[in-house]
Chains A and B, each alone.
Chain A
Amino acid sequence: MPTHLDNEQSIVAAAQAGDSDAFVTLLNQYSRHIYRLGLSITGNHQDAEDVLQESSLKAYRAIAEFQGNSRFYTWLVRIAVNVALGKLRKRALWKESSLDEPREGDDGSYVPMEIESWGDDPEKACLHNELQQLLAEVIQKLDPKSRIIFTLRDVEKFTIEETAKLLGLSIPVVKTRLLRSRLKLREELTKYFGKDARNAMPTSRR
């Protein structure tokens, strides 16, 4: 979750009073986070851009309705998540109902396959932009629901409860999906950062 701006409350108040500079200041702080969120959820750059544009526009038009009960960023993320989920619904990739939850793995049947300590911390093992690219790639290996839960909880650092509320899901569903997502991503990253991995660089891997 990005750090909030100094005097954010007063900047929000100014934006609500019609000060477009204030709105720009807010959006400049958060636009790349919203773009990354859209990319994580939808899995492609075109939809991520649409999410950024549509949610920015909605936020601008609705900012007078922002009550200040949460951080501005949380409010903006809620708008962006709704826009992004709308895109997944169009592609029939999203249903709120937990009745369709797959059961595999829920009984604890998951067995770690890649058991290998990591040689270096990932931040040291490859360049920052290569790491960004790798993380963006591996997160797409999750199914859409797990991907968005992991993104909100572990990338944007919302709580389990906030994540469940943002997505209209139950807390147990969020917890189960989060666990499985973390374990799956651990497997994937161990292929790059495990001590015996040949090369951690995403651009030069086999």
Chain B
Amino acid sequence: MRCRQVVDKISEYIDGELDPELVRELERHLQHCEDCRVVVDTTRKTVEVFCHTEPAPLPNDVRERLNQMFRHSFRKGEPTELARRFKH
């Protein structure tokens, strides 16, 4: 397997969806190609950092306007309590 093919297969490899025979070929390549090892490792870390990072809490003004929307959009009595209780 060549470097170019490794790059093409990175997604399936790090997702564990690559055919086992291709996994063996790819890993054989990684054993002697430092550059591809780095690219595979940092691509995996890229995916991990995005999926591990929790979203920030809603900004206060966004939360407040969401509350207002519920106050104005629903029938009387239905949304008021709803709006007051948003936490995030």
> Which residues of A are interface residues toward B (Cβ below 8 A)?
20-21, 23-24, 27-28, 31-33, 35-36, 45, 49, 52-53, 56-57, 60, 108, 110-112, 115-118, 121-123, 128-129, 131-132, 135, 139, 150, 154-155, 157, 175, 178-179, 182-183, 185-186, 189-190, 193
Which label, helix, strand, loop or mixed, suits the secondary structure of the B interface? helix
Tell me the smallest distance from the CB of A173 to a CB of chain B, in Å.
13
A-B pairs, 9 with minimum CB distance: A36-B55, A20-B82, A179-B11, A186-B46, A122-B49, A32-B55, A24-B85, A186-B43, A112-B39
Looking at chain B, what size class is its interface with the partner chain?
35 or more
Which label, helix, strand, loop or mixed, suits the secondary structure of the A interface? helix
Tell me the smallest distance from the CB of B6 to a CB of chain A, in Å.
10
Whether the pair A31, B58 counts as a contact (CB closer than 8 A) is yes
Whether the pair A154, B73 counts as a contact (CB closer than 8 A) is no
Whether the pair B53, A183 counts as a contact (CB closer than 8 A) is no
> Which residues of B are interface residues toward A (Cβ below 8 A)?
4-5, 7-8, 10-12, 35, 38-39, 41-43, 45-47, 49-53, 55-59, 62, 65-66, 69-70, 73-74, 78-79, 81-82, 85-88
Question: Chain B residues with Cβ under 8 A from A31's Cβ?
Answer: 58, 66, 86, 88
Residue of B nearest to A132 (CB): B56
Residue of A nearest to B46 (CB): A186
Residue of B nearest to A180 (CB): B11
